Amino acid sequence: MVRIKTIDNTVVPYMSAINLKFKIVNKWFSNQFFVTLNSWNAQYHAILGYDFLQRNKVVIDTVNKQLLVGNQKFALEENSPTNVYSETTDCDISESDKNKKENFQQINNNIGEKVDVSEETFHALNVKIANNITLQPFSTEIINLKIPKNISKNKDLIFIPKKNKLGYLINESLNVPTNANLLHTIIENKTNKVIHVRKNTIMDKLSTFDVNDIMSPSDSEIYQINNLNLNEMHKMSRDQLLKSDFKLDHLNDTDKKDMQELLLKNYKVFSKSYKTLGETSAVIPEFSLLHNFPLQTKPYSIPLMAKKYAQQEINNLLAAGIIEPSSSSYCFPVIFIKIKQNPNDSNSEPKFRMVVDYRLLNNITEIFKICLPKISEIIKNIAGRKIYCVLDLKSAFFQIKLRDEDKRKLAFCTEMGNFQPTRLPFGSKNSTLYFHTLISKCLNGIAGKNVQFFLDDIIIAADSLCEIKVTLQQVFDRLIKFNLTLDPAKLQLCKSEITYLGFDLNANGFSPSEQNVNKVTNFPRPKNLKQVQMFLGMLNYFRGLIYDYAGIVEPLVKLTKKNTPFVWLVECENAFNTVQEIILKKPTLKNFDPNLPISLIIDASKIAICGILLQKKTMFTIL
């Protein structure tokens, strides 16, 4: 059911609704109109509401008196409703005001034209309410204030209301009077009582506005934005990059020197700070919302231990031009999440990650759909090689530029002020998918047997140091072409065994990482259905490594079936212990070798059926 409400939240009853077509100049529109029971006391036959403006993306340009619909412009007619103060009505002007008015009119008649009133004269003239006002508790209403007729229509006026004892609030405002000598403003009743304000109540006086009165901000209030060009950023990257930034102590001296030369030669692809961070528009995110009603929340309190980091992080992002001050009507809070410290890190100060809580915005953001690659396929394609490198992009999402119209939608608030990102932020819906699209585009043509990626983690594999150097150079060239940069502190270079996406990769194949093995083996005995589901969900990640997986976990799967009571039987205990023991041994899966013979092994029982391919080398190994 549709409800029509006025600005004071009063529900307007209606008799019926009808869809009508109407024309503005030469453009046709269709809209649903409601026939109301109220007497509006206005000269208009129909009113177009906010829903019409939003649906048709109509902009009301009050400065130029235009209606903007797409690329079309329509002139606005300034007609005042019949129930407001008219120039021809003097019944509500006091005698003293009438005398002042006659004096000003006499002066104007002598000169032959209207004159601007001096600032001293303004302070002698009062601003009054044009109509009787009744304000309901905790309500807001638009009101008309009348001003003397002798004031020039083109004069900018500052209205500063006086304090009152009734409890209503009118904000200060900068106005240009209408042809009917009216100012429009908003009055708010902040009390729990009905407030009556009589016609001709003096609200206060006017003063003129001069642009020269605006004070210039001090140097400390001006945010310094990163204005380095690309060559200056590359020079800064080269000056900041050191041999010690790369962890290569596991190589011999010759290989270490060769690798350092390769890395330092490609200094353009590395970034150690926000100021030298890459920036690309190869992929342009679009944040289309289901509606355009602004969302705002209050900022979260920043923990005392994170305040210093928060101030420093905001300043660094501002200096790099990654965020900018904002006056957007959208606003979302910021969370500072503590990062686990490296035990080898000598710096004792806690570190945090700044994340914007975009949950409200994500609920109304349209989905950008693409297919992410399967982790199991990535692992199978890259495992079984002798040398590995993993590359990690520096603040990956911050390297993608945002459209100007999307920046305001992603604005956030902190205790230090309101800001909006100029680059793609972490935590917003579709950010991950847009970044995957960018890396797919960047590595198109070279991703395959030697190069795989998942989001911002690029893995390179080879069977010799010479091969890995050639492939590294290919990847560096692509990243430089797309102006993307890596974090030198997070690189893993030329290792015979590496952990990637939860698996340990080496020349023998792949197996669960030590961290994931500990998660499975240390999982407590399930005490309810939810814990069983959690355990099976964890095992599902490694089911391809466990021989006869379906048969082993069948007692546990039975507990998850609908209308099955939770009873932990001996069979469940045996299945739980068996699968933990298998994972503890870190089962390894070798890659398929086309030069070896293949055996097909099949088996079936009352609870499972399976068929697997095996290859025999020194022993049978599950493929």
The per-residue pLDDT for range 307-355, each reduced to its tens digit, is 889 999 999 999 899 999 988 889 999 998 888 776 666 666 778 889 9
Query: 402 in helix, strand or coil?
Result: coil
Give residue-wise pLDDT tens across range 402-431: 999 999 999 999 988 899 999 999 889 999
Q: What percent of the chain has pLDDT over 90?
A: 30
At the top level of CATH, the class of 253-341+349-480 is alpha beta
Q: What percent of the chain has pLDDT over 70?
A: 78
Highest mean pLDDT among 3-12, 288-297, 346-355: 288-297
Instruction: Please determine, for residue 524, whether its predicted confidence score (pLDDT) is greater than 70.
Output: yes
Tokens standing for 36? 């109301």
Q: What gap in Å lies between CA 410 and CA 77, rounded to an integer? A: 36
At the top level of CATH, the class of 122-208 is mainly beta
| Beta strands 126-129 and 140-146, pairing class | antiparallel
Q: Contact 268/279 with Cβ under 8 angstroms?
A: no
Helix axes 465-481, 431-442, angle to 10 degrees: 120
Largest CA distance in the chain: 116
Q: Contact 519/538 with Cβ under 8 angstroms?
A: yes
Closest CA to 152 of 115, 188, 126, 123: 115
- Residue 5's pLDDT is 63
For 586, residues 6+ apart whose C-beta sits below 8 A from its C-beta are 504, 511, 512, 517
Average pLDDT on 131-159 reads 75
Phi, psi values for residue 171, rounded to 5°: -80, 155
Q: Contact 435/224 with Cβ under 8 angstroms?
A: no
Average pLDDT on 520-543 reads 89
Segments making up each domain of the chain, as ranges:
16-75, 122-208, 253-341+349-480, 509-615
The pTM score is 0.60
Identify the burial level of 300 via C-beta atoms within 10 angstroms of its C-beta, where 0-12 means exposed, 13-18 middle and 19 or more buried.
Answer: middle
Q: What gap in Å lies between CA 329 and CA 331, rounded to an integer? A: 6
Query: 222 in helix, strand or coil?
Result: coil
Instruction: Please determine, for residue 36, whether its predicted confidence score (pLDDT) is greater than 80.
Output: no
- Residue 397's pLDDT is 93
- Residue 154's pLDDT is 58
Query: 397 in helix, strand or coil?
Result: helix
Instruction: Please determine, for residue 80, whether its predicted confidence score (pLDDT) is greater than 50.
Output: no
Instruction: Please determine, for residue 83, whether its predicted confidence score (pLDDT) is greater than 50.
Output: no
Q: What gap in Å lies between CA 180 and CA 199, rounded to an integer? A: 16
Average pLDDT on 292-308 reads 87
| pLDDT tier at 6, thresholds 50, 70, 90 | low
Question: End-to-end CA distance of the chain, in Å?
Answer: 61
Query: 255 in helix, strand or coil?
Result: helix
- Residue 122's pLDDT is 42
Instruction: Please determine, for residue 540, whether its predicted confidence score (pLDDT) is greater than 90.
Output: no
Instruction: Please determine, for residue 2, whether its predicted confidence score (pLDDT) is greater than 60.
Output: no
Q: Contact 205/122 with Cβ under 8 angstroms?
A: yes
At the top level of CATH, the class of 509-615 is alpha beta
Instruction: Please determine, for residue 52, whether its predicted confidence score (pLDDT) is greater than 90.
Output: no
- Residue 211's pLDDT is 47
Instruction: Please determine, for residue 619, whether its predicted confidence score (pLDDT) is greater than 60.
Output: no
| pLDDT tier at 390, thresholds 50, 70, 90 | very high
Q: What is the mean pLDDT of the chain?
A: 79
Closest CA to 145 of 201, 96, 190: 201
Q: What gap in Å lies between CA 391 and CA 489, rounded to an integer? A: 10
Phi, psi values for residue 11, rounded to 5°: -80, 130
Tokens standing for 326? 């904002």
Give residue-wise pLDDT tens across range 84-129: 333 333 333 344 444 444 443 443 343 333 334 444 344 446 788 8
- Residue 392's pLDDT is 93
Q: What gap in Å lies between CA 418 and CA 407, rounded to an integer? A: 12
Q: Report DSSP state, residue 292.
A: -
